[in-house]
Amino acid sequence: MRLEEAKRIIKETLPEKRYIHTLGVVETAIQLARQYGAQEDQAALAAMLHDYAKYRNVSEMQRVAVELGLDELLNYDEELLHAPVGAELVKRELGVEDADIYQAIANHTTGAPNMPLLDQIIFVADAIEPNRHYPGVEQLRQIAQEDLTQAVIATLVQTISFLCKKQTVIFPLTIETYNAFVPEKRKGTVL
C-alpha cells in the first residue's frame, strides 16, 4: 500500500485530532528511521496505520482479540485492544501483508520484550510526536535524539509512572518489556 493511499484512508477513518496525531507520528517515525537506520517507507506506513482500529467499537475489538487468542487482554483496559486488533484489521481489511508492520502496530501500546528496531521507533514516535503535550515529553524527545533504547525505557517509565500515579492497573507485558530493556546488570531490589 502506498503511503498516500493509507493517508487518505486514515483521514476518513479517524477523528481530526487523532488524524493530526497520526501525521505527527509519521513525521517522527521517518526522522527516527533515518537516524537509526530503519526503512523510512516501512516506518512511515506503520506509523500512518498504527491507530487504524482506535475508534472501533469495543465488542468488535474483543471479538477479534479472542480470534487472535488474546483472551487475556479482555481482563484489562479496553484501550489496549486497538493495537493488536488494529494490526489484524490492517491486514484483513487493507490487505497490508508486511509482517514487520503488523508487529509494529500490534506492539505500539504495550511494548513487547523483543521489539525490533521498527517496533521501537513506532513505540517511541507515538509517545513523542510534536502534538503530544505532557510533563516530561521534552525530555523524552531529547533522549530519543541520543539513544533509542534509552528512549524506549524512558517511554515505559513514563507510562508506568503515569499509571501508578492514577492507581490504575499495569498490563504485565509492559513490565516484561521494561524488564527486558533495562540493563541486565541493574537487577532491581525493593525495600
Give least dist CB 6 to a second copy, A: 21
How far apart, in whole angstroms, are the C-alpha atoms of residue 23 and residue 83?
17
- By CB under 8 A, tell whether 160 contacts a second copy: yes
9: which residues sit within 8 A by CB, 6+ positions away?
Answer: 94
Query: Cα–Cα distances in Å, from 149 out to 50, 83, 152, 181?
Result: 20, 21, 5, 7
How far apart, in whole angstroms, are the C-alpha atoms of residue 188 and residue 169?
21
Q: Which is nearer to a second copy, 12 or 184 (CB)?
A: 184
Q: Which is nearer to a second copy, 68 or 153 (CB)?
A: 153
Task: Figure out which of the listed residues 88, 109, 148, 152 binds a second copy, where binding follows CB under 8 A.
Answer: 109
Task: Figure out which of the listed residues 52, 107, 126, 148 binds a second copy, where binding follows CB under 8 A.
Answer: 126
- By CB under 8 A, tell whether 161 contacts a second copy: yes
* Residues between 68 and 97 with contacts to a second copy, criterion CB under 8 A: 76-80
Q: Which is nearer to a second copy, 1 or 70 (CB)?
A: 70
Q: Which is nearer to a second copy, 59 or 167 (CB)?
A: 167
How far apart, in whole angstroms, are the C-alpha atoms of residue 15 and residue 54?
10
Name the grid cell of 177. Answer: 518489556
Do 118 and 43 contact (CB within 8 A), yes or no? Answer: yes
- By CB under 8 A, tell whether 59 contacts a second copy: no
Q: What share of the chain is helix, strand, coil (3-state, %, to 5)?
A: 70, 0, 30
Name the residues that contact a second copy, by CB under 8 A.
76-80, 109-110, 126-127, 153, 155, 157, 159-172, 174-176, 178-179, 182-183, 186-191
